A and B are shown apart, each in its own frame.
Chain A
Amino acid sequence: MLDIAVAYNRFRFLGHEFLTWLFFAIDTDEAILFGKIDNNIRIDIGNKMVLENRKEAEAEKIVISGEQAGLEEAFVALSKGALITEINLIIKYENSKLQFTLKGESLCLGSIKLSETGALETSQDLEAAVLEKIYLYEKIFALLDKAYESFLDLRISDQWKNHSAKKMKDWIGDKNRLLKKNG
């Protein structure tokens, strides 16, 4: 096994590629993510996306945030070779709504917001609230781990180069053309 610090830096790109692929999968309803986990789960892009283009001499960073923000700039940046380094996601499951920001390089979850739980009055309430939160966090991690596993299997296969990468490139091109056409 590689030294942890070396592995962190060397495979940072994998997290960024994963987030970019995740955006593609969500936007195109590829169903590769959700069908394997639970048909009742719905996942959407939230209120923030950060992209970085390291292909230029100096890394270029694009931050898109806000509830009403459009993703035009994201597609322009993607067409220039940028990758997503941070993405805010919304997961709807049964009656619960979970929103969080996922960072590509660390796969850490930040700003996790869950649906409100009931008021705490007794120690049993406290235990129940903790267990409920754990259950919901486990749902998020199970979904992300499954999605990451699907991405990895694809990424190390020949299918990535021959099929998926081309499909993603077409998707970015189509999106940019559509956005240009709609003004």
Chain B
Amino acid sequence: MGILSSSVSITRYRVNGKIEQPVLETISNKLEKRKIREIDGKTDQVSVGWTCFDDPYHPDFLLNRSFVIGNYIVFAMRLDKKSIPSKLVKKLYIEKSKRRLKETGRDFLTRDEKEGISDGIIKKLCISIPAAPNVYDIIWNCEENWLWFFTNVKSANEALETLFQETFEMRLVRIFPYTLARNSFLNNDAKIDLLHQLAHK
């Protein structure tokens, strides 16, 4: 997942839009605003945000300017997730349901009561279970409008596309056979027509 790992995977993107001047100030402010929020000891199950490439567990984009390397912006997306074992939830749910039935003297629970029990168990477990962090490095060339994301994992790519749009108000367009062909045939409508015809043959 890391740029410097011995084996990496890369998904390429084209960045649609221009970052406002001054570029580095704008980027550092926006990254800081949406940096990863710690969720350990909290009821949240997932947290997604930006982090520093060289210090992913203590991000600070205002003090740490190491995200600029040469002509590139080098940072990372961190996706923290708590894994709640479903079998544990089931066990605690059965125990709590039985207790509730005994307390109320009824022989059934309403749908709202069932949902309330289940939500309460998950929230309580979330507070005690620490989140596992996944760090995915990013290289962004603002001048040439491209970005490399160091994973091919679908859920991570989808999280990146959403977070990037929310942070920078610019769209990431994934590079795949069609989009790369469009880039290659830029401003040549005749070639683009021929490309579209291929899909109908």
Contacts and interface: CB of A to CB of B under 8 A. Distances in A.
Interface of A: 1-2, 4, 7-8, 10-15, 18, 103-113, 117, 120, 123, 126-127, 129-131, 133-134, 137, 141, 145, 148-149, 152, 155-156
Interface of B: 3-4, 6-12, 54, 66, 69-70, 72, 74, 139, 148, 152, 173-182, 184-185, 191, 194-195, 198-199
Given A7-B179, A148-B180, A106 B152 contact: yes
A85 to B, nearest CB: 12
Contacts of B176: 7-8, 11, 15, 105-108
A1 B22 CA distance: 31
Among A109, A111, A117, max chain B CB count under 10 A is at: A109
A134 to B, nearest CB: 6
B179 A108 contact: no
A104 B177 contact: yes
B67 to A, nearest CB: 11
A131 B69 contact: yes
Nearest to A129: B4
Given A108-B176, A127-B69, 17 more contacts: A11-B181, A14-B178, A14-B198, A15-B177, A103-B152, A104-B177, A106-B174, A107-B177, A108-B152, A111-B9, A120-B4, A123-B66, A133-B4, A141-B12, A148-B180, A152-B184, A152-B191
Contacts of B12: 107-108, 141
Given A105-B177, A106-B176, A152-B181, A10 B199 contact: yes
Contacts of B10: 108-109, 112, 137
A162 B12 CA distance: 34
A156 B177 contact: no
17 contacts: A8-B174, A8-B176, A8-B178, A105-B176, A106-B174, A107-B12, A108-B9, A108-B152, A111-B9, A123-B66, A126-B4, A129-B4, A130-B74, A131-B69, A133-B4, A148-B184, A156-B198
Contact of A130 (B69, B152, B195, B199): B69
Contacts of A112: 7-10
Given A1-B182, A10-B199, A123-B66, A18 B4 contact: no
B14 to A, nearest CB: 11
Contact of B9 (A15, A110, A145): A110
Nearest to B68: A127
Nearest to A104: B177
Contacts of A111: 7, 9
A75 B63 CA distance: 58
Most buried by A among B181, B182, B185: B181
B181 A133 contact: no
A106 B12 CA distance: 10
A12 B179 CA distance: 11
Given A106-B152, A152-B185, A113 B178 contact: no
B180 A107 contact: yes
A113 B6 contact: yes
A18 B70 contact: no
B48 to A, nearest CB: 21
B7 A126 contact: no
Contacts of B7: 111-113
A133 B137 CA distance: 13
Contacts of A8: 174, 176, 178
Given A110-B152, A156-B191, A14 B177 contact: yes
A110 B149 CA distance: 12
A4 B174 contact: yes
